[in-house]
């Protein structure tokens, strides 16, 4: 799918790239509510339980630039701030193609569960953080996505700047363009640099192109971004996860439990989820050490990652899987840097060694390869209903 352009030549396809058969309902009886937590292996992988002894993210705002967020979901109620819609049309509340991907990401970041003692539903990495929803893309099933593709290509850049101006501490970008025509957009790059200069940490999905050529994905490839690849519960690089020079760290991205506006729970996979996990982790680090700059936090997250690849880093996993408790502990030894000095004066094209020139090649997608192209959401839901919120069995 090629990138569409506005007359000004800066538009990127603003649509969620999900497979047409992404959601399927299992015929089996829904799992018991506490089975949801048992399936949530991601928080344990990030060592979140240990980090929660210090903070659960209170006082931190994470902007979720996505398809919208259902602020009434029982796992998110009270944690979602008033947001902004930069698309202005498409599916609305109550439609099936509304806010599914964004709600899933918000739940991973700041879900607090529901029911007695919050014991049911999804528990996010930073359950006391606030979510700032910014609608900059449409779901893949939204009939208006073609219109958005041609008319709202500037939404991402506008959304980043707006979120920063509202005081967002972390910007989560669980989206990306890894189409054949993908390239850096000056307005988006400038918006990312604006965010970093204002002290906001920017986290993005590395891309789901691992089985179709590992093409560069934007915004993950912009300088200063924490680009996140996906691993499974065993710490193995997910085959669908793009491997490129910009990979910073890895996080859970396979069999991830997600909340949905339909009040059911599903399992999904993708670097979208991995990005959301890291945004939650960054929220905890920001809460514990509010004076650290985005560049300090990026380095801290990388330096304290566990299961580092041989040689310390590779394109599959970056510097390893995030360990948020270790990052918080190590952060206590750092002195806050000067924000202006930390975000200006860099003249190189990349943070890190940069890409190695290689011959472009195209590989046929695997049977589970997601459809991508344009600014798309990088999460695919592969499994069924695990539980319906608000109903409990004994």
CA distance 42 to 249: 14
pLDDT 10s digits, 208-234: 999 999 999 999 999 999 999 999 999
E strands, 126-264, are 130-135, 170-173, 175-176, 201-205, 226-231, 247-252, 256-259
Q: Has 101 been annotated as catalytic? A: yes
Reading the block at residue 387, the tokens are 């539980």
**Which residue is catalytic, options 241, 243, 272, 295?**
272
CA distance 243 to 314: 8
**Which residue is catalytic, options 73, 101, 114, 237?**
101
Q: Has 112 been annotated as catalytic? A: no
Per DSSP, 213 falls in state: T
Q: State residue 16's pLDDT score.
A: 33
pLDDT 10s digits, 230-289: 999 999 999 999 999 999 999 999 999 999 999 999 999 999 999 999 999 999 999 999
Confidence of residue 50 (pLDDT cuts 50, 70, 90): very high
Confidence of residue 4 (pLDDT cuts 50, 70, 90): very low
Q: Has 154 been annotated as catalytic? A: no
Poorest-pLDDT segment among 18-22, 45-49, 118-122, 201-205: 18-22
Question: Do 170 and 282 meet the contact criterion of CB atoms below 8 Å apart?
Answer: yes
Domains delineated in the chain: 33-334+370-381 (3.40.50.200)
Reading the block at residue 7, the tokens are 């007359």
Does position 197 have pLDDT exceeding 80, yes or no? Answer: yes
Longest dimension (CA), the chain: 61
């Amino acid at each position: 799918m090629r990138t569409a352009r506005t007359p000004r030549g800066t538009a990127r396809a603003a649509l969620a790239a999900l497979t047409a058969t992404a959601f399927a309902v299992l015929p089996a009886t829904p799992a018991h509510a506490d089975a949801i937590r048992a399936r949530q292996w991601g928080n344990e992988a990030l060592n979140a339980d240990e980090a929660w002894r210090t903070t659960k993210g209170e006082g931190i705002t994470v902007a979720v630039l996505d398809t919208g967020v259902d602020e009434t979901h029982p796992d998110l109620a009270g944690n979602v701030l008033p947001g902004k819609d930069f698309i202005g049309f498409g599916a609305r509340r109550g439609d099936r193609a509304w806010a599914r991907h964004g709600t899933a990401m918000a739940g991973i970041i700041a879900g607090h569960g529901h029911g007695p003692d919050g014991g049911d539903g999804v528990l996010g990495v930073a359950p006391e953080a606030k979510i700032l929803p910014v609608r900059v893309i449409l779901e893949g099933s939204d009939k208006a996505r073609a219109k958005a593709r041609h008319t709202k290509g500037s939404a991402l850049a506008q959304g980043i700047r707006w979120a920063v101006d509202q005081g967002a501490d972390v910007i989560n970008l669980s989206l990306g363009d890894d189409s054949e025509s993908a390239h850096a957009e000056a307005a988006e790059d400038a918006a990312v640099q604006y965010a970093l200069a204002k002290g906001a940490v920017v986290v993005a999905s590395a891309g789901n192109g691992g089985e179709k050529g590992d093409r560069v994905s934007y915004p993950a490839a912009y300088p200063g971004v924490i680009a996140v690849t996906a691993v499974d519960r065993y710490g193995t690089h997910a085959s669908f996860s793009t491997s490129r020079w910009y990979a910073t760290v890895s996080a859970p991205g396979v069999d991830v439990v997600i909340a949905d506006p339909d009040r059911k729970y599903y399992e999904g996979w993708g670097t979208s989820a991995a990005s959301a996990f890291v945004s939650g982790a960054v929220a905890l680090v920001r809460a514990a050490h509010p004076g650290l700059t985005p560049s300090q936090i990026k380095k801290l997250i990388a330096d304290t990652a566990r299961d580092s690849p041989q040689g310390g880093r590779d394109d599959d996993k970056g510097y390893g899987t995030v360990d948020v408790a270790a990052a918080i502990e190590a952060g206590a030894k750092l002195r806050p840097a000067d924000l202006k000095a930390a975000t200006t004066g860099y003249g190189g094209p990349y943070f890190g060694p940069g890409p190695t020139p290689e011959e472009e090649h195209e590989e046929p997608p695997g049977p589970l390869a997601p459809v991508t192209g344009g600014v798309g959401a990088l999460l695919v839901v592969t499994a069924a209903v695990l539980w319906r919120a608000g109903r409990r069995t004994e």
